[in-house]
Amino acid sequence: MLQEVLLPKLGQTMEDATIERWIKNEGDTVKRGDVLLEITTDKATLEVESYAEGKLLKVLGKAGDVLPVNAVLAYVGEDGDEIPEAAPAAPKAIPAAEPAPAAAVPASQAAPEAGPAGRIFASPRARALAKAEGVPMEAIRGTGPNGRIVEKDVKAWLERASSVSATPTARQIAAQSAVDITTIAGSGPGGRMLKQDVLGAAPCTPAAGEKPSAMRRIVAERMSLSKRESPHFYLDFNVDMTVAVAYRTALNSGREQKISFNDILAKGCAACIKAVPQINTVWVDGRVVRKSEINISLAIALEEGLMVPVVRNVDRKSLDEISAESRELIEKARGKRLLPEECEGGSLTISNMGMFGVNSFYPVINPGESCIIGVGAIVDTPVVRDGGICVRKMMNLSMSCDHRVVDGAVAAKFVSLLKNYLETLEPPVVA
């Protein structure tokens, strides 16, 4: 029996979605529960499963289309089933918003990845590795979504380059001049590449800019919106994590499921929000709205972009419960199984870049919230204590705040309480 595949409503606020890609193709046999395609809403990238069994006879929506909920995406049936001649056509794709003129973008705002021809599209991990190893990004062709350069592409180039015989000076000049040493014949003894070989070579020409994925486009739009509308101000502070590190080490001894520093931070942030409830507010249509729950958002980096799932009612949960829920949300984010409502209602976001060796940074506030915490690496650092020098495990935290609803004194009070919590693991007293 012929059955329609409709774009499902996967969240209370979901009105439309972008088709990212079809997993199944016309002619494929599908079973109930098979993943048919991936879609991206304004909150998450999701997999759409089949509720029908049979053959995928006709696909109506194509990658890149923006379709409303309940639009007909495809037909599933059996050989011989007749698809109506006047089959419901996929609704017209909604054009993506035009990027704002350069003059309208604040100078401190990072430009979105979509750009003019010649712009290089690469993941943060790929860029970091290329910078550290002196790799000319122009020499690499990406294998990620829409031709994006990912970390494995940089590693593959480094492996090829390691087999090239070249002088240190030649390698240095090649990196500075965007010359691909893997394509140059050396004129030195045994074919070794010399300085003059590199100087005589043409630099690489980056590939024409690719259309960004739906997730990357949404991230760019949301971050641009935040920087345009939310007047950011920033605080940063050093935290002695020696007690917290020892506590976590003891807590995780013999445990299969480890407690992370993000779990400890989430619990601390929730306790401090309870003591400073002004943090749990947001500016909506000229009014200050206070939220009824204390929910902590977690910034999760994916190759395609960024997702921010929300751990709910953190102030009422144990560390084990926070850890289990966080782990489940992270796994769902990486597996593209997050529902839109699982990315809504956050009070504050934690963005941790310490695992990448980043000491400090100032993150952009997640729209719908008023504050975000930037977490740096924990580093053994000589500090002065009681007139003497000792080594302590120090970490830099930063806090970005929306000045429309959070004043400097309020943010400073929150920061002071959070610092004390992380250094002593004692929750603040709520008046």
What is the dihedral sign for C-alpha 258, 259, 261, 262? positive
C-beta separation of 275 from 417 below 8 A: yes
Any catalytic annotation for residue 403? Answer: yes
Beta bridge partners of 66: 18
Give me the catalytic one of 55, 119, 337, 403.
403
d(CA 415, CA 413): 5
Known catalytic residues are 403
